[in-house]
Amino acid sequence: MAENTTGRIARVNPAAQARQAQTTKAPAQPKKELSQEQIIANATAPKQNDFRSATGGAYEPVLITETCHLPSRGLLYGSALGDTIELRAMTTIEERMRLSGENFWSTMAAILNRCKVNTDFDVKNMVDFDFFAALVKLRIISYGNNYRTRSKCFVCGKEQDVNVNLDECRVTELPDNFEEPFVIGPLPISGDVLECRFMRVFDHIDIYEKVTDWKRKHPKDTLNNPEYTLLMEHAIVTVNGVNLNEFQKKKYVENMVGADSSYYHDEYQELFYGLHRIGTSTCEETDCGSAVIYEIAPSENFFRATPLTNKRSKSENSEVQQDS
Ligand SMILES: [Zn+2]
């Protein structure tokens, strides 16, 4: 019996146990005041391994957190989220989730929901450009700020590695007093006025599932992929002040006249906020020196540490310029 109890205790965090034990102690002893020196000594004292804990106390997770500034400045979330979100680094568990996940959006949302600190806000409700900024921050604190990507010089044709410092990405923030929904229109042909909103992570999860489902059902159809129109449908809130349901939005978007459709699409694309994913660096070919365009894509090699191991020196790498 005694052995069983010990066995169970061994799997409990000793710190948590100590707290529980204190709360049942009665009456409470008046706390002894610690001097400033004692407080500092306690905080900096090396923690001894506790062999009663599951890991022997040796591998307690290190919770270093960093603050991610949201490009939306929190203007779109009411009081649910401020202008920043606190994140901790990904661990092996989250890396395993990332490698097992099929839907990029839902997998990364689940990971970000685990790595956020001090907030109940569900990141599925984030606008996509805040989400991307948070993913880049997560990449920086988990794997470092150097991101290497391949790029080809348009002038000399040389393929080359480009090292990007993710901490120096250019960001466009939402302006003061920006509100959703925002107006697009009147459209050039119909004169319709659309009220629109930004895509949330939950929109992308839904669209990804619908497109995947469509591809499974129509493996040979390369002409009618619904992704383009689904994005347009999800962004519309009202047409001429009237709220449309999902089916009505679908019909409305599908039947838009070409000029109206491209006007809406272009105006929507104009509203760019967040991290600039396209940037330029200088071609490594000595005789060339042209601008090489690169893209930051949160794909396979994004969540991976990329040490500066290619030929160029650090000082040359630091000359990488961001999109102008
Ligand atoms: Zn070149």
Q: How far is the CA of 275 from the centre of ligand 1 (A)?
A: 26
The whole-number pLDDT of residue 55 equals 58
Distances in whole angstroms, Cα of residue 291 to Cα of each of 17, 155, 230, 294, 299: 59, 9, 35, 10, 23
Give 308 or 63, the one with higher predicted confidence.
Answer: 63
Between 249 and 29, whose confidence is greater? 249
Between the CA of 152 and the centroid of ligand 1 the distance, in Å, is 8
| Residue 309 pLDDT exceeds 90 | no
**Cα 286 to averaged position of ligand 1 atoms, centre (Å):** 8
Report the 3 state secondary structure along 203-244: HHHHHHHHHHHHHHHCCCCCCCCCHHHHHHHHHEEEECCEEC
64 vs 66: which has the higher pLDDT: 66
Tokens of 131: 């989400």
Compute, in degrees rounded to 10, the torsion defined by CA atoms 263, 265, 270, 273: 160
Question: For residues 62 and 314, which has the higher predicted lDDT (pLDDT)?
Answer: 62
Cα–Cα dist 62/317, whole Å: 30
**Rounded to whole angstroms, how far apart are CA atoms 298 and 106?**
14
Helix axes 227-235, 201-217, angle to 10 degrees: 150
Sequence letter at residue 301: N
**Span 41-67, mean pLDDT?**
62
Ligand 1 center to residue 310 CA distance, Å?
Answer: 17
Positive or negative torsion for Cα 215, 295, 230, 300:
positive
Provide DSSP, 119-133: ----GGGSBHHHHHH
Q: What's the 289 CA to ligand 1 centre distance in angstroms?
A: 6
Q: Is pLDDT above 80 for 228?
A: yes
Q: How far is the CA of 221 from the centre of ligand 1 (A)?
A: 38
CB 83 within 8 A of CB 134: no
The DSSP annotation for 99-149 comes to HH-SSHHHHHHHHHHHHEES----GGGSBHHHHHHHHHHHHHHHH-SEEEE
Q: Which of 170, 136, 137, 130 is nearest to 280 (CA)?
A: 170
The residue to which tokens 């991976």 are assigned: 304
Q: What separation in Å is there between the alpha carbon of 287 and the centre of ligand 1?
A: 8
- Summarize pLDDT for 239-262 with one digit per residue, the tens: 999 999 999 999 999 999 999 999
Q: How far is the CA of 153 from the centre of ligand 1 (A)?
A: 5
What average pLDDT does this structure show over 215-234?
A: 92
Could you tell me if 281 and 321 are in contact, meaning their C-beta atoms sit under 8 angstroms apart? yes
- Label residues 101-140 b or e (16+ Cβ within 10 Å = b): eeeebbbbbbbbeebbeeeebebbbbbbbbbbbbbbbbbb
Most confident of 38-47, 271-280, 297-306: 271-280
Handedness of CA 296, 135, 88, 94 (dihedral sign): negative
- Of the candidates 146, 124, 121, 126, the residue with the CA atom closest to the CA atom of residue 136: 146
Cα separation, 189 vs 171, in Å, equals: 35
Measured in degrees and rounded to the nearest 5, phi and psi for residue 255 equal -100, 10
Q: How far is the CA of 290 from the centre of ligand 1 (A)?
A: 5
Q: What single DSSP character describes residue 28?
A: P
Residues with CB under 5 A from ligand 1 (ion): 153, 155-156, 283, 285, 288, 290
Distance from the alpha carbon of residue 159 to the mean position of ligand 1, in angstroms: 8
